[in-house]
Structure 1
Amino acid sequence: MAHAATAEGQQHPIRLYLLVWGWLFILSACSYLVDYVGLQGVLRWSLILLFMLVKAGLIVAVFMHMAWERLALAYAILLPPLAVLVFVGIMVFESGHTLGMREFFFAGV
């Protein structure tokens, strides 16, 4: 089934949405299985975050129609959250350093 362009906008086949919905269901089941199996530590959180990011990517790409948008619009929407994540990572690193310095200098007080 081809993508038909109409005067109102582009129409996508229902099969695409059902396929993405199925993948979202499978990824959610995998996320629940991580808890059910009893994985712990870094592996558990890495898998949960991976499944979460893949699901978010599918939702943004298909249901929010970002896969068919112009590149400039995609960058305008996707780059700010990416920059926020980079800054959060920098702050996490800096907070560890600040805590270490406070423990070092205020240990005897």
Structure 2
Amino acid sequence: MTNTAVHVEGQQPSLHIHMHEALASGATHTKGQQHPIKLYLVVWGWLFVLSTCSYLVDFFGIHGYLRPSLILLFMVLKAGLIVAVFMHMAWERLALAYAILLPPVLVLVFVAIMVFESDYTHLLRVIFFAPTA
């Protein structure tokens, strides 16, 4: 029994050193996730291209439903890139991504439903209140 106690006491400084090494290496890993600078530069490039495309819609004078559709498309693409990369949503858990991204998508769906319903209501009012000949 004493031999075992002496053997363990002899190894305690060694365990203490290994513990310090493990904590030090663990501390370097807990600083955060590092992404290559190339990723950020590529995203900045895409944001510049999408912004240029958005301005070109106005420059070329596109009219009708195509104009707001293109501007909204470029806006949503830019917002998606910013949220995914700069706000680190691409590396988050799926549940957190759903909790943040799903409500705005549902709001857009409800807005689309209201637009269709308002067109239907307007059509009924035009038909009902139309002057009779």
Shared fold (TM-score, shorter chain, > 0.5) = yes
Asked if 1:83 corresponds to 2:106, the answer is yes
**Partner Cα distance (1:64, 1:72) in 2:** 16
Corresponding residue of 2:54: 31
Distance 1:30 1:100 in 2: 36
User: Hey, what's the Cα distance between the residues in 1 that align with 2:114 and 2:96?
Assistant: 28
Partner of 2:90: 67
- The alpha-carbon deviation at position 53 of structure 1 amounts to 1.3
Task: Choose 1 or 2 for highest CA Rg.
Answer: 2
Q: Give the drift of 1:84.
A: 0.6
Rounded to whole Å, the distance in 2 between the matches of 1:42 and 1:106 is 28
Unmatched runs of 5 consecutive residues or more in structure 2: 1-27
Q: Secondary structure at the match of 2:130?
A: coil
Identical columns (%): 74
SS of the equivalent of 2:31 reads: coil
Secondary structure of the residue aligned to 2:30 is coil
**Alpha-carbon separation, structure 1, partners of 2:74 and 2:130:** 41
Gaps of 5+ in 1: none
Shift of residue 24 of structure 1? 0.5
Structure 1 residues 42-85: Cα deviation after superposition (integer angstroms, max 9, x where no partner): 22222212211111110110011110000111111111111111
More helix per residue: 1 or 2? 2
Aligned to 1:18: 41
TM-score by length of 1: 0.85
Shift of 1:102: 2.1
Output the aligned Cα RMSD. 1.6
Q: TM-score, normalised by structure 2?
A: 0.71
Aligned equivalents of 1:54 and 1:15: distance in 2?
20
